[in-house]
């Protein structure tokens, strides 16, 4: 790690010269080492495409000798295929500057070996020991940190880095063929760089070792006993030839300059051993120069390659060493929050390590949640993806049928019970339902993401970031209209492009607006009067504004409001509304972005209104794109959590499943697929029933992500199928009618028409379907057997009864095994429609093939929007149908699998940034209201323990 080259001149060859015994020795052993390392690097690159061992050399100052030695190392690294990076700090660098640089290199996953060149040539006082120990031990390829030195001193040779010079000396000794064990070895010198570690190394190779130094009074006598002599004292020719035992191996690590008038420089280089006389007695001896120095550099390269191999072994994608939590099941099953709080989650940094994430790729938010940097995806880009599984469901009751619970149960079964690498990727829930009527979305029973209170509440603040970004856009829209209505063109221009010390300059986003307008000018003074008018006037038509303010709370009284009533707004008021945050287009943008750059472009493309000419007005036109990206820069990082049984979970994004696509983020799926490896599984969930969430998962999410699913898991319940068979109305918060509590095979069989249709819908995309029958305690064996039979007859690959809610992963093992088998079958995935088709044709295909409609009917407003969006260039976007989730049709009262109906399209809206058009089928509420008795009545905080109570 810290490398001081006081002993080693530049030389291309290693020499261990034979003494009188005439044993020949190659002068190119260090070259042999380099050739071997070169081949290892080639094999490493073949096995892990895109990978390359990395060495960092940190230098402070500009000493000539240091520059010389660093160049030797850089040259050797280049020859071997190691990526070497020379970081040079000025001699004005402080200790804090050096430590900051070290911290950065410690966290850089591309750096596997790291040395600090000594001496530190700084004008400022720097504690070398502190610098030494600041380097991460796993990158300390010079082996001089206290941790590595301590491991060496206690004999942990396989778990530490050995300083390069002693390591090189040991290699030279081994190459003589003479056994070290049982020999008497003498080390002259006690430095941390050579003497002390050389003593330890010889000792743990079973030599009897004596350490001497310049103050040893019986030095000649001790030297005369040595079978192996290593000298690193720093004194010219201190050890005389006549002291040496005949036949001894002599390793001279010293380098000293003595006067010599025959040399042009007036001096010559000698070692610590009187070479001319010593060579007559030694069996092997290293010359100076050209002996130990090249071997030291070779060992530095070897340690770097070894470090890279350890890195690959530890962080190899698909190779997990994960600790699972064992469940203690109770009957009756306690409340969700009781179960969640009865298990202590693993520290989230442990979970990150277990799945192969690097420390610098993880940003901790306390002990139980973390954000994962997108650099992980870049690092893993050449790794194969795992198997991609989507969990969806039949058309549900208002109570939901347990898709989230099944998702968690499936990953717990695959991971904790079948020992497969598996990740769950789920949506972040809105706080609206959490405090409203539905409750949280962390799963339930013994299949939960924990801590469930963290999951269901603020998490890491992503939804709050979206709220802030969305409302910034809304404020910008109204402010721009106000200023345009109250100022002249020139006044607007003077304020939009202000003078700073007499200089006016366009911002980057203003340059983009000029280019969009066809004005290719960058000098604010060069615009004509007409160009100034074009630039400053967005001329928004208030009647076309589609951008609303948002809040992550259910509040029915914000569904329609009047804004601008203050006197300061000079009478410029208008009718507006609040939506719930998760319905914001920015949430959909977050979910579909594949990186920061893509997110920024999508944010800039969002259309907020049309101008009075019917042209779209975007957030980029408002000048707010960069600010939105800043607000969203942390939200784009997926959130890492865990299940009750310790399997990893990404919680990221939570777009509405009606006016948006209802799926978690593309980025979370992509990172997870790389982390699990080619034999692992990523299980994600699509919102609502298969006709909504799954269809959008395939036609929108998979279209943008480029990912291809392997299996559909379709969740069904006996109670929902009875409802579809004609059972009484199911209402949230009201006890279930007796028909749902008693066996009724006829009612159930009739309702299986919905199951059959949703299986058909999934198979339409060419993906095998496994039906998960989510069992409730009131379901009978005959009822569950009937559902399994009906599912298989309808074309499901398999159908399995699951009891994971009560039993955790154990209750979903059969489901997991069925998913494993299904994932081995061919997946002939295909999209339902070509996006280049006319908008009406795409809507018709979805309505007829997925819903079972006879045809569609576009109401006048929808017809106008088709013409408008086609004219504006948005006709090639995919379709995101906004309809009720309680029926395959537009009418929530129509259960089962209705056919022959006409699907009415009331209106069509555009989420251009997210990348889809969403036709409105009936009335869609984007701001839920609170019921008579909301969930918040039961939610409380224990002031003593700080525990949250009452969430479900």
Q: Going by C-beta distance under 8 Å and a sequence separation of 6 or more, which residues neighbour residue 769?
A: 711, 712, 713, 714, 759, 762, 763, 795, 796, 797, 822
Helix (H, G, I), strand (E, B) or coil at 52: coil
Omega before 289 within 30 of 0, i.e. cis: yes
| Region 172-186 average pLDDT | 93
Convert the pLDDT of each residue in 698-710 to its tens digit: 999 999 999 999 9
The single residue of 23, 45, 47, 73 carrying the catalytic annotation is 73
Q: Is the pLDDT of residue 400 over 70?
A: yes
Q: What is the pLDDT of residue 280?
A: 92
Write out pLDDT tens, residues 228-261: 999 999 899 999 999 999 999 999 998 888 998 8
**In which residue are the tokens 């079948």 written?**
418
Q: In whole angstroms, what is the distance from residue 727 CA to residue 609 CA?
A: 45
Say what the pLDDT of residue 897 is. 97
% of the chain surpassing 70 pLDDT: 96
Burial track 633-652 (b if 16+ CB lie within 10 A, e otherwise): eebbbbbbbbbbbbbbbbbb
At residue 24, the pLDDT reads 31
Residue 908 has φ and ψ, to the nearest 5°, of -135, 135
pLDDT tens-digit profile of 772-791? 999 999 999 999 999 999 99
| 769-774 vs 711-716, strand pairing mode | parallel
Long-range contact set of residues 152-156: C-beta below 8 Å, sequence gap at least 24: 152/197, 152/200, 152/201, 152/204, 153/200, 155/200, 155/204
* Band of residue 923 on the pLDDT scale cut at 50, 70, 90: confident
Q: How many helices (H) and strands (E) does the chain have?
A: 34, 38
Q: Is the pLDDT of residue 114 over 90?
A: yes
**pLDDT of residue 845 exceeding 70:** yes
For 193, the token pair is: 């760089």
SS3 state of residue 44: helix
**What's the rounded Cα separation, in Å, for the pair 238 and 212?**
12
pLDDT at 5 over 70: no
Q: What is the pTM of this model?
A: 0.85
pLDDT for residue 51 is more than 60? yes
According to the model, what pLDDT value does residue 837 have?
98
Query: Which residues have C-beta within 8 Å of that of residue 156, sequence separation ≥ 6?
Result: none
What are 365-383's pLDDT values in tens digits? 999 999 999 999 999 998 8
Cα dihedral 767, 831, 860, 556, rounded to 10, equals: 50
Residue pair 149/130 in contact (Cβ under 8 Å)? The answer is no
pLDDT tens digits, residue range 551-574?
Answer: 999 999 999 999 999 999 888 999
For residue 507, give Cα distances in angstroms to 498, 628, 911: 11, 16, 26
In the predicted structure, residue 11 carries a pLDDT above the cut 50: no
Mean pLDDT lowest among 126-130, 615-619, 845-849, 938-942: 938-942
- Residue 466's SS3 state is helix
What confidence tier does 436 reach under pLDDT thresholds 50, 70, 90? confident
pLDDT tens readout for residues 733-786: 789 999 999 999 999 999 999 999 999 999 999 999 999 999 999 999 999 999
Distances (CA, A) of 466 to 422, 530, 588, 618, 692: 29, 37, 10, 17, 24
- Of the pLDDT bands very low, low, confident and very high (cuts 50, 70, 90), residue 625 is very high
- The per-residue pLDDT for range 494-503, each reduced to its tens digit, is 999 999 888 9
- Is the pLDDT at 931 greater than 90? The verdict is no
pLDDT tens by residue, 413-435: 999 999 999 999 999 998 877 78
- Buried-exposed string 812-840: b where 16+ CB fall within 10 A, e elsewhere: bbebbbbbbebbeeebeeeebbebeeebb
Radius of gyration of the chain (CA): 36
For residue 439, the model assigns a pLDDT of 64
The phi, psi pair for 164, rounded to 5°, reads -65, -40
User: Rounded distance, CA 842 to CA 879, Å?
Assistant: 7
Token pair for 796: 């499901």
- The residue assigned the tokens 């699913």 is 709
d(C-alpha 538, C-alpha 548), whole Å: 18
Mean pLDDT for the stretch of residues 911-926:
92
245 is catalytic: no
Q: Reduced to 3 states, what is the DSSP secondary structure of residue 289?
A: coil
Three-state DSSP state, 940: strand
Length of the chain: 952
State the helix-helix crossing angle for 292-315 and 64-80, rounded to 10 degrees: 50
Note the pLDDT of residue 440: 66
| Helices assigned H by DSSP within 764-895 | 781-793, 804-807, 813-823, 839-846, 860-872
- DSSP for residue 520: -
Rounded-to-integer distance, Cα 67 and Cα 119, Å: 12
pLDDT: which is higher, 3 or 242: 242
DSSP state string for 554-580:
--GGGSSEEE--SGGGTT--EEE-EEE
The angle formed by the CA atoms of residues 322, 325 and 330, to the nearest 5 degrees, is 160
Bridge partners (DSSP) of residue 362 are 372
Which CA distances in Å does 535 have to 520, 604, 622? 12, 17, 11
| Residue 317 clears pLDDT 80, i.e. is over it | no
Q: Which of 6-10, 190-194, 259-263, 836-840 has the highest mean pLDDT?
A: 836-840
Q: Kindly report the number of other CB atoms within 10 A of residue 109's CB atom.
A: 17
Structure tokens at 595: 């990186």
Query: What's the pLDDT at 1?
Result: 41
Phi then psi for 361, rounded to 5 degrees? Answer: -95, 0
For residue 19, pLDDT beyond 50: no
Dihedral of alpha carbons 116, 122, 124, 127, sign: positive
Q: In this predicted model, what pLDDT tens digit does every residue of 60-112 receive, in sequence order? A: 999 888 898 899 999 999 999 999 999 999 999 999 999 999 998 998 888 99
Give start and end residues of each alpha helix (H) in 824-937: 839-846, 860-872
In this prediction, residue 624 carries a pLDDT of: 98
* Reported confidence tier of residue 29, pLDDT bands at 50, 70, 90: confident
Query: Residue 879: is its pLDDT beyond 80?
Result: yes
Residue 652 has pLDDT above 60, yes or no: yes
**Average pLDDT score over the chain:** 92
* In the predicted structure, residue 832 carries a pLDDT above the cut 90: yes
The first and second tokens of residue 535, run together, are 């630039």
């Amino acid at each position: 790690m810290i490398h001081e080259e006081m002993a080693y001149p530049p030389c291309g060859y290693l020499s261990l010269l034979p003494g009188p015994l005439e044993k020949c020795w190659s002068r190119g052993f260090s070259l042999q080492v380099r050739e071997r390392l070169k081949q290892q690097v080639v094999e490493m690159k073949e096995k892990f495409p895109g990978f390359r061992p990395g060495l960092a050399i940190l230098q402070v100052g500009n000493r000539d000798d240091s520059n010389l030695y660093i160049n030797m190392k850089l040259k050797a690294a280049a020859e071997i295929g190691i990526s070497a990076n020379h970081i040079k700090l000025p001699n004005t660098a402080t200790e804090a500057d050096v430590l900051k640089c070290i911290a950065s290199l410690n966290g850089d996953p591309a750096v596997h070996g790291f040395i600090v060149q000594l001496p530190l040539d700084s004008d400022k006082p720097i504690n070398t020991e502190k610098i030494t120990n600041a380097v991460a031990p796993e990158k300390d390829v010079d082996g001089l940190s206290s941790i590595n030195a301590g491991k060496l001193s206690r004999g942990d040779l396989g778990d530490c880095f050995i300083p390069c010079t002693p390591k090189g000396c040991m290699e030279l000794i081994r190459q003589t063929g003479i056994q070290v064990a049982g020999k008497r070895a003498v080390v002259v010198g006690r430095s941390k760089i050579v003497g002390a570690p050389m003593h330890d190394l010889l000792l743990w190779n079973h030599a009897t070792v004596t350490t001497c130094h310049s103050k040893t009074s019986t030095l000649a006598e001790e030297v005369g006993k040595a079978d192996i002599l290593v000298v690193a004292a720093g004194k010219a020719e201190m050890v005389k030839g006549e002291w040496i035992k005949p036949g001894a191996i002599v390793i001279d690590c010293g380098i000293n300059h003595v006067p010599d008038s025959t040399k042009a420089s007036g001096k010559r280089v000698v070692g610590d051993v009187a070479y001319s006389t010593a060579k007559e007695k030694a069996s092997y001896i290293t010359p100076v120069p050209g002996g130990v120095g090249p071997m030291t550099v070779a060992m530095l390269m070897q340690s770097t390659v070894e470090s890279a191999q350890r890195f690959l072994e530890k962080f190899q994608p698909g190779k997990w060493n994960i600790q699972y939590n064992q469940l203690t099941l109770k009957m009756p099953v306690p409340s969700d929050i009781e179960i969640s709080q009865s298990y202590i989650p693993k520290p989230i940094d442990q979970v990150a390590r277990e799945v192969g994430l690097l420390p610098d790729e993880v940003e901790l938010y306390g002990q139980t949640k973390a954000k994962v940097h997108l650099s992980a995806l870049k690092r893993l880009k050449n790794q194969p993806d795992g198997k991609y599984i989507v969990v969806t469901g039949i058309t549900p009751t208002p109570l939901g049928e347990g898709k989230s619970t099944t998702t968690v149960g499936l990953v717990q079964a695959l991971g904790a019970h079948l020992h497969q690498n598996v990740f769950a990727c789920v949506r972040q829930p809105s706080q609206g339902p959490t405090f409203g009527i539905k409750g949280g979305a962390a799963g339930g029973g013994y299949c939960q993401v924990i801590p469930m209170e963290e999951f269901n509440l603020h998490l890491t603040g992503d939804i709050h970031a979206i709220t802030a970004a969305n409302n910034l856009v809304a404020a910008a829209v109204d402010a721009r209209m106000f200023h345009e209505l109250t100022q002249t063109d020139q006044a607007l221009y003077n304020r939009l492009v202000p003078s700073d010390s007499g200089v006016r300059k366009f911002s980057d986003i203003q340059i983009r607006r000029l280019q969009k307008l066809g004005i290719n000018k960058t000098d604010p003074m060069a615009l004509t009067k007409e160009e100034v008018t074009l630039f400053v006037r967005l001329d928004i038509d208030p009647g076309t504004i589609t951008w609303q303010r948002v809040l992550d709370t259910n509040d029915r009284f914000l569904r329609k409001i009047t804004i601008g009533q203050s006197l300061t707004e000079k009478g410029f008021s208008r009718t507006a509304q609040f939506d719930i945050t998760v319905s914001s287009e920015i949430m959909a943008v977050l979910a579909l972005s594949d990186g920061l750059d893509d997110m920024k472009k999508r944010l800039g493309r969002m259309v907020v209104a049309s101008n009075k000419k019917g042209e779209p007005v975007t957030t980029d036109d408002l000048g707010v794109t960069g600010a939105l990206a800043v607000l969203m820069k942390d939200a784009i990082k997926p959130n890492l959590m865990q299940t009750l049984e310790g399997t990893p979970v990404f919680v990221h994004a939570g777009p509405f499943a009606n006016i948006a696509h209802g799926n978690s983020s593309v980025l979370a799926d992509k990172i997870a697929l790389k982390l699990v490896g080619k034999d692992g599984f990523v299980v994600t969930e699509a919102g609502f029933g298969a006709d909504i969430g799954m269809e959008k998962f395939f036609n929108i999410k998979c279209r943008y992500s480029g990912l291809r699913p392997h299996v559909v898991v379709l969740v069904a319940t006996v109670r929902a199928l009875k409802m579809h068979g004609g059972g009484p109305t199911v209402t949230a918060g009201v006890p279930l009618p007796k028909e749902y509590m008693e066996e009724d095979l006829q009612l159930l069989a009739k309702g299986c028409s919905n199951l059959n249709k949703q299986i058909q819908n999934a198979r339409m995309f060419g993906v095998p379907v496994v039906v998960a029958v989510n069992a409730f305690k009131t379901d009978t064996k005959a009822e569950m057997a009937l559902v399994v039979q009906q599912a298989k007859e309808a074309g499901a690959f398999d159908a399995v009864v699951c009891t994971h809610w009560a039993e955790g992963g154990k209750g979903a093992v059969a489901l997991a095994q069925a998913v494993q088998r299904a994932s081995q079958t061919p997946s002939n995935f295909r999209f339902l429609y070509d996006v280049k088709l006319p908008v009406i044709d795409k809507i018709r295909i979805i309505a007829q093939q997925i819903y079972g409609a006879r045809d569609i009917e576009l109401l006048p407003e929808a017809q106008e929007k088709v013409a408008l969006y086609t004219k504006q260039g948005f006709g090639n976007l995919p379709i995101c149908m906004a309809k009720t989730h309680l029926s395959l049709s537009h009418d929530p009262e129509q259960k089962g699998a209705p056919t022959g109906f006409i699907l009415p399209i009331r209106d069509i809206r555009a989420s251009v940034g997210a990348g889809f058009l969403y036709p409105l089928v009936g009335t869609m509420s984007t701001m839920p209201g609170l019921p008579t008795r909301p969930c918040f009545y039961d939610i409380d905080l224990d002031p003593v323990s700080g525990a949250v109570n009452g969430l479900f």
